[in-house]
Structure 1
Amino acid sequence: QTFSLYFIYLWHETEMRRKEKEDRKKMMQKQADVDSDQKKGQNQHDSIEKTMSHIKVSAII
């Protein structure tokens, strides 16, 4: 009887750890997606600024 309880306890611990690991992985993946989205936004912003300064230069000439 005690053996099966111990076994269930061990299994439960293992499951909880596995879930925590998966959750952490998901969180890190989400964070990575957010970071890459921010980078995309930054790149778009940079290219817009380049275009704007190019237009200004053309207008002066």
Structure 2
Amino acid sequence: MNDKRKKLFLLDIDGTVALGSELLPGAADFLQTVKENGGIFCFLTNNSSKAASDYVEQFRDWGIE
């Protein structure tokens, strides 16, 4: 089977998914579409001002697990 659909998405948080404490328009829909199509996503950041747990909490507040 030669499945050419993308399966893994590596996403920078600031400027790609969110700006500060605001989720960017369309980001939640995109992530839901990835999940529904069997894909996975991972978040990356070079912002060391927040702990990973802070990001997890922020994403939960946005309804993203």
Please report the TM-score for the alignment, with normalisation by the length of structure 1. 0.24
Larger-Rg structure = 1
Please report the TM-score for the alignment, with normalisation by the length of structure 2. 0.22
- Structure having the larger proportion of residues in helix: 1
